Amino acid sequence: MLSLSNMKDLKTALQKHGFLGGLDDSPEAKEFYSHDASMFELRPQVVAQPKDAADVQRLVRFVAANKKKYPELSLTGRAAGTDMAGGAINESIIVDFAKHFTHIGPITGLKGTAQPGVFYRDFERETLKKHVLMPSYPASRDLCQIGGITANNSGGEKSLEYGKVEDFVTELKVVFADGKEYTVKPLNRKQLEAKINQGDYEGKIYQRIYNLCEEHYDVIKEAKPNVSKNSMGYSLWRVWDRETGVFDLGKLIVGSEGTLGLVTETTFRLVPARPHSGLLVLFLKNIKHLGDIIPKVLEHKPATFESFDDQTLLLSLRFMPAFYKRLGFKKFVHLLWSLIPDGLQLLRGVPKLILMVEFNGETEEEVRAKVSALHRDLGKYRARYEINGFEEDPTEGKSEKFWIMRRYSFQILRSKVKDKHTAPYIDDFVVPPKHLVEFLPALQKIIKKYKLFATIAGHMGDGNFHVIPLMKIEDDHERKKIEPSQREVNNLVLKYGGSLSGEHNDGLVRGPWLEAQFGKPVLALFKQVKHIFDPENIFNPHKKTDATWDYSYSHIREHF
C-alpha cells in the first residue's frame, strides 16, 4: 500500500508502475529542488528524471490513478530552475527535464525544435550556424532552458522588435491529464471541427475551450492587458479568432507554467540573425526628460531599448571580481579596460539611469546610419554610441560591458550581497511607457517609504521593469514589509493600466493577484480553463488560478 508518509514507498510505487528514469528522494535532492530563483521554498517528496516522453506519460497516469486516494500527489515540471516567481517548485513530485530531455531537433529554414532540458545558449549556438535565431530570450539566456522559456512565455531585450515566446511557438508536444502525449498546433476551422468530432479526451478539450472562447468572445478579447507584453493568467484572447478562423490551443499552453500539462518538445519559428549591431548609450542624471526621450527613441524603431539604474551600476562595479569567474581572464581584462572611458564619465557624477538603444542591420553602414540618426536627435541628452561589427566576438565588442551589467546583475546580486538576499516579489511589472515620467517617481517613493534597497533594470521600450529588493528575509521585521509594499506597488501599476508580469509569470508571487489584474468574471474563465485541462489538479498546484497569498507567504524561505 502506498503511503505518502513514507518516501521510499512512493519511490517504489513509481518504479512498480514502470517508470524507467531516475528517482531521487535523498535529503540532498529534496533540499536542492526545494528552491528556484524565487524567495520561496517547497520541499518535494521525490525528484523524477524521466528518460523520454513515455516516462512522462507514466508519471501522469500514476498521479491521475492515485490522486483521489492521495490528494497531495502532484507534478511540477522543472528545467534549469531559474524561475523567479516560484513556479518550478512543489511539495510532491518534481519532474526534472534537465537530465534527459536535452535533444535539439532539426533546424531547417526558419524553424527549430528543442526539448525542455536544452539550454537556450546551446539552442542558439545551433541556430546561429544556420544564421537564424529565436529572438525572444530572457536576460538569463546563458542559464535558462527551453522548458522554462516556454512555460513562462518569456521575453527579453529583443521583444520590443520581435515580441515574446508566444509569437514564436508553432507546435508543441504536450502530455495532458489523461497521460497521453498530443501534438498541439494552430488549426483552421475545418481542422478544428475534425478535432472536435473525434469525441475522445483530446477532442473534448478542444470542444470545451472553443465553446468557452465563443460564448465569452467579447469579454475575453477585452480582458487582454493594454500593454506590449503580458505573462499574467492564461492568454485566452489569443486562442480563437473569428476573423481568421484560426484556433490555437498552444497559446494557452505557452505561459501556463505547466499547470495545464507537461510540455515535452517545442518547435519555434526562427528569424534571420542580422550580422551587425550598434548601441547608443545615454547617461541620465535625472528622469525629467524621460517623457521626451522615450517617444523620440521609439520613433526610430530600435531593436532593443534597455535600462538599468545607478544601484545596478554601482553594485556591478563593486562586485566586478565576480565577473572574472564568468568571463575568464582575457575577457575580464578587456571588460576592465573598456570601462575606463565610462569611469571618466562617472567622475561627473553617477547617472540615475543608463539607457541602451540597439539597432541591428545587414551591414555596418546601415547600423551606423541608424545609430547616428538617433544620436543627432538625442544629442542634447549627452548620448554616445558604440558600433559592434560582425567580425568581433560579441563578448569583446565595445558595447558588451553594458550588456554584461544588464544581463548578469541579478545573478551577481543573488550570491554577493552580504546578509541580504534577492526578494523578487515586485520584479516584473509593465506600465505603458507614456506614464513612466509619473510612475517612476511614485515607485521610488514607495521603495523609500519601506526602506528597501532595490535595483531597477528593465526593457524601457516596453515599460517592463525588474525591481529586485535586497532583503534579510529571515528577519521578521524585513519579512513584514513584503506584503504591504507589494500591494502598494501592484496597485500603482494597475492604476496606470499596466500588467503585474511582462515575462516572469505568476507562480506563487503573483497568482494571488489575478483577480486584481483581470476581475472576477475573467478569473472565473481562467478557472474553467484549468478545470477543463486538469480537473483533478495534478499539474503544478498553488500556481495561477489556485494560488493564495496565505499559502505563498507561509512558504517564503526562512534560511539561506
Rounded-to-integer distance, Cα 498 and Cα 504, Å: 15
Q: DSSP class of residue 417?
A: S
Distances (CA, A) of 101 to 107, 327, 449: 17, 28, 46
Please give the CATH topology (third level) of the domain spanning 276-495.
Vanillyl-alcohol Oxidase; Chain A, domain 3 (3.40.462)
Q: Which amino acid belongs to residue 403? A: W
> 540-555: string of b/e by CB count within 10 Å (b at 16+)?
bbbbbbebeeebbeeb
- Rounded distance between C-alpha atoms, residue 322 and residue 332, angstroms: 10
Q: Using CB atoms within 10 A of its CB, is residue 171 exposed (0-12), middle (13-18) or buried (19+)?
A: middle
Percent of the chain with pLDDT over 90: 70
Q: Report strand pairing: 276-284 vs 353-361.
A: antiparallel
pLDDT at 26 over 50: yes
SS3 524: helix
Q: Is 54 helix (H, G, I), strand (E, B) or coil?
A: helix
How close are the terminal C-alpha atoms of the chain, in Å?
37
Other Cβ atoms less than 10 A from the Cβ of 137: the count is 22
Residue 7 predicted with pLDDT over 50: no
Tens-digit pLDDT profile for residues 101-122? 999 999 999 999 999 999 999 9
- Give the model's confidence band at 282: pLDDT under 50 very low, under 70 low, under 90 confident, else very high: confident
Which band of pLDDT confidence, cut at 50, 70 and 90, is reported for residue 394? very low
Range 93-100 average pLDDT? 98
Q: Could you give the 3-state DSSP secondary structure of residue 231?
A: coil
Q: Buried b vs exposed e over 391-413: b needs ≥16 C-beta within 10 Å? A: eeeeeebbbbbbbbbbbbbbbbb
Per-residue pLDDT, 378? 87
Q: What is the pLDDT of residues 488-503, one digit of tens each?
A: 999 999 999 999 999 9
Q: What is the largest CA-CA distance in the chain?
A: 75
pLDDT band at 390 (very low <50, low <70, confident <90, very high): very low
Residue for grid cell 468572445: 217
Separation between Cα atoms, residue 173 and residue 267, nearest integer Å: 9
Tell me the CA distances in angstroms from 315 to 113, 341, 405, 416, one per residue in order. Answer: 38, 18, 9, 9
DSSP notation for 151-206: HHT---TTHHHH--GGGTEEEEEEE-TTS-EEEE--B-HHHHHHHHTT-SHHHHHH
* pLDDT tier at 384, thresholds 50, 70, 90: low
pTM of the model: 0.90
Q: How many CB atoms lie within 10 A of CB 333?
A: 12
Give the angle 233-135-394 at the CA atoms, nearest 5°. 135
Mean pLDDT throughout 447-461?
89
User: Could you say which architecture CATH assigns to the domain 7-96?
Assistant: 2-Layer Sandwich (3.30)
pLDDT tier for residue 352 given thresholds of 50, 70 and 90: confident
Instruction: List, for residues 303-318, the tens digit of each pLDDT value.
Output: 999 888 887 777 766 6
Q: How many CB atoms lie within 10 A of CB 535?
A: 11
pLDDT confidence band for 388 (50 / 70 / 90): very low
**What pLDDT shows up at residue 427?**
87
Give the residue with greater pLDDT, 528 vs 320: 528
Does residue 247 carry a pLDDT above 50? yes
For residue 279, give the H/E element and its range. strand 276-284
**Whole-number pLDDT of residue 163:** 95
The predicted pLDDT at position 76 comes to: 98
What is the DSSP-derived secondary structure letter of residue 225?
-
Per-residue pLDDT at 2 exceeds 60: no
Q: How confident is the model at residue 395 (pLDDT cuts 50, 70, 90)?
A: very low
CATH number, domain 126-272: 3.30.465.10
Considering only 96-110, 117-131, 383-397, 487-501, which range has the smallest mean pLDDT? 383-397
216: which 3 cell numbers?
A: 465569452
The DSSP code for 232 is S
- 356 pLDDT more than 90: no
C-alpha triplet 333, 401, 282: angle, nearest 5°:
145
Sequence-distant (≥ 6) Cβ neighbours of residue 425 within 8 angstroms? 39, 469, 482, 486, 509
At 241 the pLDDT is 97
Residue 353 clears pLDDT 90, i.e. is over it = no
Task: Summarize the confidence of residues 367-385 as an average pLDDT.
Answer: 82
CB–CB of 316/326 below 8 Å? no
3-state secondary structure of 398: coil
More confident residue, 139 or 253: 253
- The mean pLDDT value of the chain amounts to 88
Residue 242 predicted with pLDDT over 60: yes
Say which range, 109-123, 281-295, 375-389, 457-471, has the weakest mean pLDDT: 375-389
pLDDT digits (tens, 9 = 90+) for 66-75: 999 999 999 9
Question: Helices 320-327 and 400-416: crossing angle, nearest 10°?
Answer: 110
Beta pairing, strands 111-114 & 262-269: antiparallel
pLDDT in tens, 178-202: 999 999 999 999 999 999 999 999 9
284 band by pLDDT with thresholds 50, 70 and 90: confident
